[in-house]
Each structure stands twice: as C-alpha cells, then as structure tokens.
Structure 1
Amino acid sequence: MKLPRRPPPKARIEIIPMIDTVFFLLVFFMMSSLSMAVYRGMPIDLPKAGTGQQGVRDHAAVTLTKDGQLYLDKQPISLDQLRGRLKELLEVNPELTVVLSADEAVSHGRVVEAMDIARWAGSNRLAIAVKPNQMRREE
C-alpha cells in the first residue's frame, strides 16, 4: 500500500522579528546621535530668554564666567589674544558664527567688550547663548 505524501511546507519569512530588529536599530542610532552633539563652551549659568533658539552648527564659543575668566572653545584666553585667535578662525571659515556665552552675573560692559572684539576680528555672525524660558510673551 502506497501512502500519499504531503507536500513539504513552503518557507516563510517572519516579518515581526525583522520589524523588532529594525526598530531597535532606529532607537539605538537616534540615541547615539544625540550623545554626539558637541558643545564647545564652558558650563555657566546662562540667562533665560523666551525667544531662544537651538544652537548653530559651525561656531566658535566665547565664554565669560562670573569670576571674570574668558575662554575660547574651552581654552582660557586673554582679551588681547581673543581678537587674533578669532581672526585666524575666520580666515579658515568666513561663515563661522561666534557664540557668546556669558554668565548672568557678568557685567554688561564686559559682554559688550567681547562682542566688540569679535566684530573687530571680522565676525559677521554673532549670537548670544541663552537658556530657553518657558514663559512666552503674550501676543
């Protein structure tokens, strides 16, 4: 007696494990790209502003601390050296944005002095770093 043979089952591609793997990779690359953000300034207590925006890509961070120290991209620098160093950076990249980060306690005159030096160095793009404020102005 001859028994009938069943046809072998067709191969199937399971899609659910593949979706799980792709989702895991997406989350992994999103989290790792967030941790690669480069902040060149020193940690200071920035003032708050309701119109604050996200940072710019190509920039030089000039930081004024409350104890009077001046930094360029986390390197201590004097006011006399700042102009020359900024001039060198702007010769390499004329589209460079100078981001001025000043502690809340720094006097207005010191901030204006640093802004003036950046302008004398040839910077056409100057930004002031602030913390975003939750309170928006009423329109």
Structure 2
Amino acid sequence: MGAVIEPSSRVFDVGGATGVHSRWLAAEGHDVTLIDPVLAQVERANAVGGFSAVVGDARDLPAKDACIDVVLLLGPLYHLIDPEERMAALREAHRVLKPGGVLFAQGIGRLTAFTDAAIRGRFENLGADDPTSCEPASGRT
C-alpha cells in the first residue's frame, strides 16, 4: 500500500475499527480519518492519537465529492452481507475519491469461514452415517 500512496495524502480508513491501518498511515505523514460505525471502536481509535476517528457508515461517507486521495475499504465489504449494500459502499468510496484516487478494497466470500474450518479439519464428526437420519452416527451419543 505504502508504495502506491502519494506523500501527504488525505486518507479515509472506512471501517477502520481501532486504527490498525490508520496508525501507520498517520505515522507516514498522511492526513487520516478513520470512519467506523461502532462507537467503542472509534473511542479506542481516538485514544491512539495521530489521526481523527468518527462514527460513520461506509454507505454515507462524511465528505464532499472528489476530495479524498485514498480510501481503504478493508472491513465493510464483508460485514455488509447484501450485495446492494456492498455496491452502495463501493459507489460511496468512488464518489469521495479525487480523479486518479486510489481505492483499497477487500471482501470475503460467505463461505470463507466454512472453507477454512473444513480445510483445517476443525469439524469433528460431521453428519450421521445416514444423512437422512436425525439419529447420531454409530459410536456417538
């Protein structure tokens, strides 16, 4: 990220929680505003200092059109389950970005946690010997 962001950029860290990314971006000299819907997260972020933190929503960012250099959208896209809400957050990020601005966005699919647990073998004794039965599989009580 650091190699892409121009020096002294104005950055929105949308869904930034307690400021994991905001901290290092502010330390690099950027003007960072963290926006998160959870008051307790915003209060913890404000206690860190070096950047501002406000309660807000990824679908309604507190900025005029085309005035932000960089938007981080690294949490809202997997907390917003409805596809239209995800699109609203992406449209809103696009709205506030200056022409040529940079958007860093990340989403996680609905089955990511299930897939991870299955790959790591964290499901024990799934199902019954007879998948149509409501009785426990043999050997289990």
TMscore range, shorter length: 0.3 to 0.5
For the pair shown, the structure with the greater C-alpha radius of gyration is 1
Higher strand share: 2
